[in-house]
Amino acid sequence: MARTAVLGMPRMGPDRELKFALEGHWAGRIAADELNETARSLRAANWKRMAAAGIDAIPSGDHSLYDHVLDVAWALGAVPQRFGDARARGLDGYFAMARGDVDVKPLEMTKWLDTNYHYLVPELTPGQEWSLDASHWTGQLAEADALGITTRPVALGPVSFLLLSKGLERPLSELPRLVSEYAQLLRELADAGAVEVQLDEPCLALGRSDEELEAAAAAWRSLAAVGPELCLATYFAAPRGEELRRLARDFGAAELHLDLVRAPEALDEACEALMESETRLSIGVIDGRNVWRSDLDAALSKVDRAVVALGSEHVTIAPSCSLLHVPHDASGETGIDEEVRGWLAFAVQRLEELSALGRAVDADAGRDELLAAGRAATESRRTSQRTNDQAVRSRAASLSEADYSRPAPFETRHAAQRERVPLPDLPTTTIGSYPQTDEIRAKRRARKADEISQADYEEFLRDQIAQVVARQEELGLDVLVHGEPERNDMVEYFGEQLDGFAFSANGWVQSYGSRCVKPPILFGDVSRPEAMTVGWWRHAQSLTEKPMKGMLTGPVTILQWSFVRDDQPRSETCTQVALAIADEVSALEAAGAFAIQVDEAALREGLPLRAEDQEEYLRWAVDCFRLTVAGARADTQVHTHMCYSEFNEIMDHIVRLDADVISIEASRSGMEVLDVFAGELEYPNEIGPGVYDIHSPRVPSTDEVERLLELAEERVGRARLWVNPDCGLKTRGWDQVNPALENMIEATRRRRAVVAAGV
């Protein structure tokens, strides 16, 4: 019969236990033993829950104290020289690579393919020395075995590890040497009792060259000969055509996993490719990245097709990817409207769905009973009036081409903006948020618990804004922000004020390290009932003569960082959100705002992973940003911000955004990301590359910031350059923010003085 498998589980725990243990350890309140015990208990709870659900292939080794890519780099001994003998320092060394040390930068961080999860980028050198320590996997395998639970160890595969690293001109040239380390890992796992091992190779689903596929196939055949059965897991896209046939035919894997949520068309090709093979097909028919209850009839239809083609013993039923990307359990979300709650499935409910599918495969007569609850939820959502708003749909349908463009080209806008608000050379600003202190969080909790009145809460927030504005004045920043003390999250804050959203109480997912986000649940048509930010902006602007940015989150980022309805094209949903945010842009401008920032931190993140699918997404995503700001006057300065991203292949679309100022994260890469902004397709507008890394607690020196500014000037020129941190400052403490901003301002003064002196 067909078996069931899970590729990975959430790490933080149902109540974010790991988050609080990590932060307690970093603060010196919790010893390493206590942190490790918290992690062990969370792993055990996951294993027991999967075993109770009857899951056949249960993962181990997927649970990490920070990041699964860092785990592999650490295990292989890929420790950059600046960290010294980090492995001899144990957890302190591990966390130094993730978070930095006193005078040592951490590893660069970037998005995990097209998700909002961030991974740490391994730094490799030609002739990289490897030194395997398999204890991360053998230890977790033994923990599960002690509970009487057989698990399948999970690790990032060698091909994807190299392709996702930096420092090698030809990454796969290192593959033959690296494979010997992976072979040793497999031998140690086999000695520890592992019968099968899952190696994740998402990069093999993204369209690889013949040379890359041949190198990957040779490596995998070598590993397949070592001992434990290997599952080659791809996800977030699916290989196609000859690429898929080669993975099925030439790699020697005992099982090939495909994401059939993202690429349902791959099923028939895969069945054909595996028809005469002993390789099992693992079909990802349960969405591992969204929270809607599955249409189990549609999923079972795919399972049935695979079983008919290959035989049930050659089929594994699985989520599309690791369940790392969904919250833990929806059953306790009693604050969500009962109808909407009935449409939701978090990780625990995904296990129930997998169990139901596994039992339904061989239970033709009992299928109706097994699928009844899922069918009812699917039908309820399909027919609910709450998912449709005719006024919203009519407005979107009436849009014309003229609704997507600013009233004047950049050169005209630039002159009008400088006439309205003259700014100095190298204007300084920050990205938006300031520290979300314990005091702010406590007041927010007190208001939610109705322990303080709304009036008292708002007075507290006004005082917080006044303090932030005064601090920026003292520092000498040129364009100010109000600090966003009223915002719990840059997406959730807006979703709470828009129609069409629901919110969980405990729907947390990991973003990086201990950082968790709680995405809104976008279930219906979206509209803006009333102004969302104007009152706070007015208060902040009244406290200063300097320009105060209005701070908004863009439509693509709201889409990407929400759990989005999947019953209509994402482009239609994004257009609705764009119209709602456009109304707020107009309201801020009418209130007198000179600068309005519409953050699109996730624009690059949403890019489909396969090149042939990207153009359509980029067209509608950029159009939605343009729709949001098209109504702004020429003398209103439109800013946008983007998080860690590779811009090379989408530079023409970044240009088409036509923001007056774009700020990007650049410090960890030493301004390397700016190379594309000064390349053949030079970015024509103004740009603020981040000059210090806010994701690390370390404070950069003035000299360090000045050097980054010099590098930025060399790449894009002074005339177009702004000075700002990499991102918002909400996750940092004032003890870090104050000196860092002081150093940023002093470095800017030095650069201005150099030009003034004609040096």
- Catalytically active residues are 695
Q: State the Cα–Cα distance between residues 741 and 496, nearest whole angstrom.
A: 31
Burial profile 480-514: b = 16 or more Cβ within 10 angstroms, e = fewer: bbbbbbbbbbbbbbbbeebbbbbbbebbbbbbbbb
Q: State the Cα–Cα distance between residues 425 and 513, nearest whole angstrom.
A: 37
Paired tokens of 595: 């600068």
Q: Which of 306, 369, 373, 366 is nearest to 3 (CA)?
A: 306
| Contact criterion met (CB below 8 Å) for 618 and 129 | no
- The counts of H helices and E strands in the chain are 26, 20
What are the Cα distances from residue 283, in Å, to 200, 280, 354, 592? 14, 10, 11, 55
Distance of CA 33 to the CA centre of its chain: 30
Beta strands 499-502 and 315-319 are: unpaired
Q: State the Cα–Cα distance between residues 614 and 624, nearest whole angstrom.
A: 15
Paired tokens of 217: 């196939």
What's the full length of the chain, in residues?
A: 759
Q: State the Cα–Cα distance between residues 342 and 330, nearest whole angstrom.
A: 9
Q: State the Cα–Cα distance between residues 503 and 497, nearest whole angstrom.
A: 11
Adjacent-strand bridge partners of 118: 111
What are the Cα distances from residue 709, in Å, to 75, 386, 690? 36, 51, 9
In 10 A of CB 725, how many CB atoms? 25
Q: State the Cα–Cα distance between residues 320 and 113, nearest whole angstrom.
A: 15
For residue 488, the 8-state DSSP code is S
Q: Which of 758, 668, 662, 671 is nearest to 713 (CA)?
A: 671
Q: State the Cα–Cα distance between residues 450 and 457, nearest whole angstrom.
A: 10
Distance of CA 316 to the CA centre of its chain: 28
Q: Is the torsion defined by CA of 85, 22, 138, 225 positive or negative?
A: negative
Distance of CA 631 to the CA centre of its chain: 30
Q: Which of 230, 237, 233, 231 is nearest to 205 (CA)?
A: 237
DSSP string, 116-150: S-EEE--B--TT------THHHHHHHHHHHHTT--
Q: State the Cα–Cα distance between residues 648 and 736, nearest whole angstrom.
A: 32
Packing angle of the helix pair 32-52, 17-26 (nearest 10 deg): 170
Q: How many CA atoms lie within 13 A of 345 on its CB side?
A: 22
Distance of CA 249 to the CA centre of its chain: 33
Q: State the Cα–Cα distance between residues 300 and 358, nearest whole angstrom.
A: 9
- Gyration radius from the chain CA atoms: 26
Q: State the Cα–Cα distance between residues 43 and 45, nearest whole angstrom.
A: 5
DSSP string, 499-554: EEEE--SS--EEEETTEEE---EEEEEEE--S-SSHHHHHHHHTT-SS-B-EEEE-
Q: How many CA atoms lie within 13 A of 152 on its CB side?
A: 25
